[in-house]
Amino acid sequence: MSLLDRTKKFLQYENEPKNNSAQGSLLDAQVKSKTAVVVGTMRAGKTTHIAALGKVAQYKASDTQGTENRFRVIIDEGATNILDDIAELSSGHFPEATPIREKPTVNQGFKFEWEDPTFFGNRFNAKYQAVMPVLDYAGEQLVGLIRQVQSAKTLDQMMAINGGTDQLTSTINNASALIIIINAERAEGLPIFKPEPWEKIKGMSKHPDVNIHRIIFPILSYKHATRQYSPPLEKIFIVITACDLLFPIAKLIQARTNRPFDPVPADGNAQTSNASLNMFMKAFFPQTHSLIASLNVAVQYFPSYFELEGADKNNIQYWDEAKTQPVIKRGNMFDSPDWEHNHNRPKFTEYWYNLEIEALKQFATRV
């Protein structure tokens, strides 16, 4: 085998001509692409996070058009409402939380692709793909369903469970990464603490830390039991939503302890944010933190929050009289010369969502 042939083999280059219309199409995403699954308890902000991630992915796909480092995204709604949720953010509204449905489903969700030039030029571009299906389950519903799946010992017991367990177990079985969404307001012991409506749901604890643990542990147990045909868990991403509520507390902790604690550093230092949110988890979600720390799996944290209209003047604006629907602050098309970037652009932690997308690239499959 010649040196050229060896190089082609190493780069997975094929001599056969390809259909240019199909080449590079993300619609033909490889089956072997790695899967990341989003989980979280009730009102953790899963729907909003998925919509914001989709929004940033769309920005990134448009902005990298015609560049050497391309990013592509295909959003397959299935039975979900992702595109409408994304549009809601651009309209200044938070999307509605996932309701409890009789027959929740697992939908296609996102297909991501990154394309980078190599040392050998654009002819040998490297492509990486990852998929992120959407579990169309309310958080409280997912807790109960996963526990039932874990408890089932026979095929008959599994078949007796309602709620699309075949899709759920297949998706979890194929997952190589978990994206865990945790609301900062679920931190017991802080003035901002807001409990979940645990008393209304059978099997739920009044302690949010317990409920998060109860979601993650059955997933880990199931993957361990099916490890012969289940890919190993490579990454855990933890997103702390409503992170702006920690700002006053962060300043107090730094002042009292003389130790750095800055979940959303102004300079965008990911290491500072990661270390701070790790301390936050260790202090306020100790059972979940100890479980994750025992897995020998890479963990990365991301802060998330949305700027609200009027918040800077201590006069938050709401869409409704009951003041349950705050108005998201948005950009004006004439804020800067590149008006196409600013029109109705929601103000949120977009920088950190971009880092999350790049983190997904680190575990994506080369195709």
User: What are the extents of the domains in the chain?
Assistant: 28-306+348-366
On the question of pLDDT at 316 being above 90, the answer is: yes
Contacts of 8 (CB under 8 A, 6+ apart): 14, 15
Q: At CB < 8 A and 24+ separation, what contacts does 206-213 make? A: 208/41, 208/182, 208/183, 208/285, 209/284, 209/285, 209/286, 209/287, 209/288, 210/287, 211/41, 211/143, 212/40, 212/41, 212/180, 212/182, 212/285, 212/288, 213/287, 213/288, 213/291
Question: What is the CB neighbour count within 10 angstroms for residue 293?
Answer: 13
Against a cut of 0.75, is the pTM above it? yes
How far apart CA 156 and CA 154 sit, in angstroms, is 5
Contact between 133 and 107 (Cβ < 8 Å): yes
Nearest CA to 236 among 277, 189, 195, 187? 277
Distance CA 57, CA 53 (A): 6
DSSP string of 326-351, one letter each residue: BPBPB--TTSSS-HHHHTT-B-B-HH
Among 210, 180, 181, residue whose Cα is nearest residue 195 = 210
Place of tokens 């006053």: 248
The residue with greater pLDDT, 41 or 123, is: 41
Fold of the domain built from segment(s) 28-306+348-366: Rossmann fold (3.40.50)
Residue 243 near residue 304, CB atoms below 8 Å: yes
Q: Report the candidate in 84, 105, 250, 249 with the shortest Cα–Cα distance to residue 167.
A: 105
Q: What is the pLDDT of residue 86?
A: 95
pLDDT per position as a tens digit, 86-95: 999 999 999 9
Integer-rounded Cα radius of gyration of the chain: 22
- In the predicted model, is pLDDT for residue 235 greater than 80? yes
Residues 6 or more apart in contact with residue 124 via CB below 8 angstroms: 11, 13, 117, 118
250 neighbors 190 (Cβ within 8 angstroms): no
pLDDT confidence of residue 204: 78
Minimum mean pLDDT range among 24-33, 59-68, 173-182, 253-262: 24-33
d(CA 200, CA 195): 12
Which pair of structure tokens corresponds to residue 344? Answer: 């109705």
How far apart, in whole angstroms, are the C-alpha atoms of residue 74 and residue 61? 10
Confidence of residue 10 (pLDDT cuts 50, 70, 90): very low
- Quote the percentage of the chain above a pLDDT of 90: 48
- The answer to whether residue 218 scores a pLDDT higher than 50 is yes
DSSP 315: -
Question: What is the dihedral angle through the alpha carbons of 161, 162, 167, 172, rounded to the nearest 10 degrees?
Answer: -50
Which range among 158-172, 279-293, 319-333, 340-354 shows the weakest confidence by mean pLDDT? Answer: 158-172
d(CA 358, CA 135): 22
Eight-state DSSP code of residue 311: G
Tokens matching residue 257: 């302890």
For 32, 33, 113, 287, the CA distances from 26, given in Å and listed in that order, are 13, 11, 7, 39
* Contact in structure between 180 and 238 (CB atoms under 8 Å): yes
DSSP letter assigned to residue 300: E
Select the highest-mean-pLDDT range: 90-104, 128-142, 181-195.
181-195
* 133 close to 75: Cβ distance less than 8 angstroms: no
Across the chain, mean pLDDT equals 82
- Residue 283: pLDDT band (50, 70, 90) is very high
